Chains A and B, each alone.
Chain A
Amino acid sequence: MRLLLVEDDEILGDGLSAGLKMEGYAVDWLTNGKLADEALKTNTYELIVLDLNLPDMNGMDILKALRARKNETPVMVLTAKDTLPDRVQGLDSGADDFVIKPFELDEVCARLRALARRNEGRSVPTIEHRGIILDPASHQVTLNNQKVDLLQKEFEILSFLMANIGRVISRARLEETLYSWNSDIESNTVEVHIHYLRKKLGASLIRTVRGVGYIIDSDD
């Protein structure tokens, strides 16, 4: 899942970036408000973690601009200001969640999962489909109650497709989800991961729409 982290503090940004990567997110870390604003205009992210106190462009302004563009990507705001007016103002400006520094990495990850879940229109933490149960928190997948071992990237692709059941997801979109700017993308990786997923979960689960992308069909 591709995530934009905007945090100007080097140590915190580095720590969050490392922690979120460990959770499987493809993290783009920016330390500059204006660059973040530009990145949001040109890239698609599933989640945004935004610090408010940035050197050049206020986090709140980035958020407002984002919402003005009808972009509904879930945004988690990081702030050192813990007063009620600050929090109210933040939520009213379009933030989906608010975390006050200092925070627990685990809490941030849990909240991000909740945000993603809510964005996908689910209220239960796990996704179930045709005997497959996917748990985003523990990164566990079971098929007919049997644990299936998946690689990180395989899990990411599966959860993205399962979060969008019945919708065709382009290969480019899947690549975007998997890789942050800094990683090298091999042209056939998505196909390779799909191949292994079919092997582990059954060939019929993921259908290829030739020239477009992949889809997990809905039951109806």
Chain B
Amino acid sequence: MNLSLRQLLLASLLTASMIIWGITAYLNYKLTCNEVTDLLNAELAQSAKVLDTFVEGLLHGEPLAVHWKNDQSEAEIDNLDLDYKYNKAKKTNANHSHLLSSNPNHPDSSDNNMGSKQLSESLWDIFDGMVPTDPFGHKYERKIAFQLWSKSDELMLRSDSAPKFAFSSSIHGFSETTIDGHLWHVFSITNSDGEYVIHVGQKEEVRNQLTAEITKQLVSQFLVGVPILGIVIWFIVGFYLKPISLLERALAKREANFLKPLSIKKLPKEIVPVVNEMNSLFKQLEQALEHERRFTADASHELRTPLAGLLTQAQVALKTNDDEVRKQALKRIEQAVNRMTYMVQQLLTFSRIESNSEFLNKSPTLISYEIVQTIADLEKEAHRKRIRMEFEEKTKTIIIVNPPLINILIRNLIDNAIKYTPHDGIIRVSILEQDNAFKLCVEDSGPGIPPEQYANSLKRFHRGIETAQQAQGSGLGFSIVLRIVAIHEATLALGTSRFGGLKVTVSFPLPVDKTKPLKTGFFNIKRSA
């Protein structure tokens, strides 16, 4: 099956885009996953450190209340209001703002007391709380669970989501642990005195959720992008292929015999040579067709006229009571039949030349041999008209031709000369080398052709005015000669012979290459450069 260029381009461009897109998306995904893991690990560590600082502060440092008191002297420590509300915290001074701002989203817990129990109570929500209705919530909040273990392995504080046993055996750094089939990423921190261990953990699923979100986005981009890309490619390719489809339609609309050249306007540069080649082919084809048309028309005329003559003479012979008229008519009939036989032979020869590939094989040929043969064959006919035939051999160069065709050519030329030459005339055939060409000349002492009629005479079937009466040749002879001349890439010229008649010269170009034409040592002929 032949795919269209448009389909092929669409398929290949789309496939290439998808592959490149897929690779970059996968790399992006991997990179993002790593970044997300790093980010979340950092977040985990940071959370643990914040918690540690907080707990440390509660246990050993001066209670927060003291700072608070120092800053705001009239405030009482017991009633110190640890207000975590974000908006209020923002107003507090820089010394403790880092502590508060690390948990900016903390939910409502306006009244927290300093005691660890109370504190732990108030802290639950900080880490657990992803309350969707919370106006300060964010979808990228990551659920973090924590545990605070005392030195004596007592769980002092934990978030709701944290298990009651130790998250991890590690007491410092990152570790992973599986609880109830869930993988947890844990960061553990021990205070400098080793009094307690804080474990901060995050479920793998939470992380996966994030990467799934990223993946979802990448896939949805891909799913939306590919059809759009496909449509865009389809239309762009279609747009630029439009001249070709127009060309195709222009060709499809053509009749077989309509061979006008195609327009190359608006065609892409790559197509122009193709169309140019097609146009030159069209031209050749048109010439060939025109040739054939003219030949058929001429042949029909050429056959119909003698047929009409034959029929008319036969009817005259049948109708007449005059014996002399009948005898004359019958003689004419015989003449007409002979003429038509000759014509049919010529037509057959012509069609054989036109169609037979055997005539394409060329071989080194000694032309003088063919000429002598032909003259010997036609001598009888010439003798009947007392025509003297001469052969002048000025070169013995062997040229590469098709021997049967050359034989037909020579026969036709000499035959023609005999037909047009009156009684007691002379015909001279000569071969010579001139201007790097091998020339075959046939000269006669017939009426010749006026120079202004040379062009016309070369047309098929065209017979000269003066000569029409004298010779009963068919114009086919010349057509055959011209065809053979064309097959050999030779040229034919008409001129006036030294006897005042017609001189036909056929020039075969000689190759410039010194190794050709083939010369046999046997003849040992000097050839002028």
**Is B328 in contact with chain A by the CB < 8 A criterion?**
yes
Q: Would you give the shortest CB distance from A192 to chain B, in whole angstroms? A: 23
Q: Which of A8, A11, A53, A55 contacts B313 (CB 8 A)?
A: A11
Q: Which of B308, B325, B329, B464 contacts A102 (CB 8 A)?
A: B308
10 interchain pairs, CB-CB under 8 A: A8-B468, A11-B313, A15-B315, A18-B329, A31-B468, A78-B308, A80-B305, A100-B304, A104-B315, A105-B319
**Is A119 in contact with chain B by the CB < 8 A criterion?**
no
A101 touches B316 (CB 8 A): no
Indicate whether A10 sits within 8 Å of B311 (C-beta atoms), given known contacts A15-B332, A101-B304, A105-B316: no
**Is B463 in contact with chain A by the CB < 8 A criterion?**
yes
A interface residues, tally (CB under 8 Å):
28
Instruction: Write out the residue numbers on chain B whose beta carbons fall within 8 Å of the beta carbon of A137.
Output: none
Please give me the residue from chain A that is nearest to B469 by CB atom: A31
Instruction: Write out the residue numbers on chain B whose beta carbons fall within 8 Å of the beta carbon of A19.
Output: 312, 315-316, 319
A15 touches B465 (CB 8 A): no
**Is A106 in contact with chain B by the CB < 8 A criterion?**
yes
**Considering residues A16, A82, A101, which has the most beta carbons from chain B within 10 angstroms of its beta carbon?**
A101
**Would you give the 0/1 interface string for B230-269, flagging 1 where the beta carbon is closer than 8 Å to chain A?**
0000000000000000000000000000000000000000
Q: Which of B301, B303, B315, B472 contacts A81 (CB 8 A)?
A: B301
Q: Would you give the shortest CB distance from B502 to chain A, in whole angstroms? A: 16
**Is B306 in contact with chain A by the CB < 8 A criterion?**
yes
Q: Which of B308, B335, B468 contacts A103 (CB 8 A)?
A: B308
Q: Which of B303, B305, B311, B313 contacts A14 (CB 8 A)?
A: B313
Q: Would you give the shortest CB distance from A17 to chain B, in whole angstroms? A: 9
Instruction: Write out the residue numbers on chain A whose beta carbons fall within 8 Å of the beta carbon of B312.
Output: 12, 15-16, 19, 102-103, 105
B315 touches A53 (CB 8 A): no
Q: Would you give the shortest CB distance from B149 to chain A, in whole angstroms? A: 115
Instruction: Write out the residue numbers on chain B whose beta carbons fall within 8 Å of the beta carbon of A106.
Output: 315
Task: Give residues of chain B (277-306) contacting chain A, Cβ–Cβ below 8 Å.
Answer: 297, 300-306
A55 touches B310 (CB 8 A): no
B320 touches A22 (CB 8 A): yes
Bound-complex Cα distance A8 to B329 (A): 17
**Is B517 in contact with chain A by the CB < 8 A criterion?**
no
Bound-complex Cα distance A130 to B174 (A): 147
Q: Which of A18, A100, A104 contacts B311 (CB 8 A)?
A: A104
A11 touches B316 (CB 8 A): no
Please give me the residue from chain A that is nearest to B314 by CB atom: A15
Q: Would you give the shortest CB distance from B526 to chain A, in whole angstroms? A: 46
B319 touches A55 (CB 8 A): no
Instruction: Write out the residue numbers on chain A whose beta carbons fall within 8 Å of the beta carbon of B464.
Output: 55
Instruction: Write out the residue numbers on chain A whose beta carbons fall within 8 Å of the beta carbon of B339.
Output: 11
Please give me the residue from chain B that is nearest to A23 by CB atom: B319
Bound-complex Cα distance A53 to B463 (A): 11
Indicate whether A102 sits within 8 Å of B465 (C-beta atoms), given known contacts A19-B316, A80-B305: no
**Is A32 in contact with chain B by the CB < 8 A criterion?**
yes
**Would you give the 0/1 interface string for A1-37, flagging 1 where the beta carbon is closer than 8 Å to chain B?**
0000000111111111011001000000001100000
- Give residues in A with beta carbon < 8 Å to B: 8-16, 18-19, 22, 31-32, 53, 55-56, 78, 80-82, 100-106
Q: Would you give the shortest CB distance from A81 to chain B, in whole angstroms? A: 7
B469 touches A10 (CB 8 A): yes
B320 touches A18 (CB 8 A): yes
Instruction: Write out the residue numbers on chain B whose beta carbons fall within 8 Å of the beta carbon of A81.
Output: 297, 300-301
**Is B214 in contact with chain A by the CB < 8 A criterion?**
no
B313 touches A101 (CB 8 A): no
Q: Would you give the shortest CB distance from B107 to chain A, in whole angstroms? A: 103
Instruction: Write out the residue numbers on chain B whose beta carbons fall within 8 Å of the beta carbon of A10.
Output: 309, 469, 472
Q: Would you give the shortest CB distance from B459 to chain A, in whole angstroms? A: 12
Task: Give residues of chain B (464-489) contacting chain A, Cβ–Cβ below 8 Å.
Answer: 464-465, 468-469, 472
The number of A-B residue pairs with CB atoms under 8 Å apart is 95
A101 touches B297 (CB 8 A): no
Indicate whether A22 sits within 8 Å of B308 (C-beta atoms), given known contacts A55-B468, A81-B297, A81-B301: no
**Would you give the 0/1 interface string for B314-352, flagging 1 where the beta carbon is closer than 8 Å to chain A?**
011001100001001100100110010000000000000
Indicate whether A9 sits within 8 Å of B306 (C-beta atoms), given known contacts A18-B325, A31-B469: yes
Instruction: Write out the residue numbers on chain B whose beta carbons fall within 8 Å of the beta carbon of A102.
Output: 304, 307-308, 310-312
- If A12-B308, A15-B309, A53-B305 are given as contacts, then 9 extra A-B residue pairs at C-beta distance below 8 Å, sorted by A number, are A11-B313, A12-B312, A14-B313, A15-B312, A15-B313, A18-B329, A22-B320, A55-B463, A80-B305
Q: Would you give the shortest CB distance from A3 to chain B, in whole angstroms? A: 15
Instruction: Write out the residue numbers on chain B whose beta carbons fall within 8 Å of the beta carbon of A14.
Output: 309, 313, 328, 332
Instruction: Write out the residue numbers on chain B whose beta carbons fall within 8 Å of the beta carbon of A22.
Output: 316, 319-320, 325
**Considering residues A14, A18, A82, which has the most beta carbons from chain B within 10 angstroms of its beta carbon?**
A18
Instruction: Write out the residue numbers on chain A whose beta carbons fall within 8 Å of the beta carbon of B297.
Output: 81
Bound-complex Cα distance A8 to B468 (A): 7
Instruction: Write out the residue numbers on chain A whose beta carbons fall within 8 Å of the beta carbon of B335.
Output: 11
Bound-complex Cα distance A56 to B472 (A): 17
Instruction: Write out the residue numbers on chain A whose beta carbons fall within 8 Å of the beta carbon of B336.
Output: 11
Indicate whether A80 sits within 8 Å of B301 (C-beta atoms), given known contacts A22-B320, A31-B469: yes
Q: Would you give the shortest CB distance from A49 to chain B, in whole angstroms? A: 12
Bound-complex Cα distance A8 to B472 (A): 11
Bound-complex Cα distance A9 to B319 (A): 21
Instruction: Write out the residue numbers on chain A whose beta carbons fall within 8 Å of the beta carbon of B462.
Output: 55
Instruction: Write out the residue numbers on chain B whose beta carbons fall within 8 Å of the beta carbon of A8.
Output: 468
A9 touches B465 (CB 8 A): no
Bound-complex Cα distance A104 to B318 (A): 12
Q: Would you give the shortest CB distance from A76 to chain B, in whole angstroms? A: 13
Q: Which of B315, B332, B468 contacts A11 (CB 8 A)?
A: B332
Instruction: Write out the residue numbers on chain B whose beta carbons fall within 8 Å of the beta carbon of A104.
Output: 311, 315
Instruction: Write out the residue numbers on chain A whose beta carbons fall within 8 Å of the beta carbon of B468.
Output: 8, 31, 55
Q: Would you give the shortest CB distance from B493 to chain A, in whole angstroms? A: 22
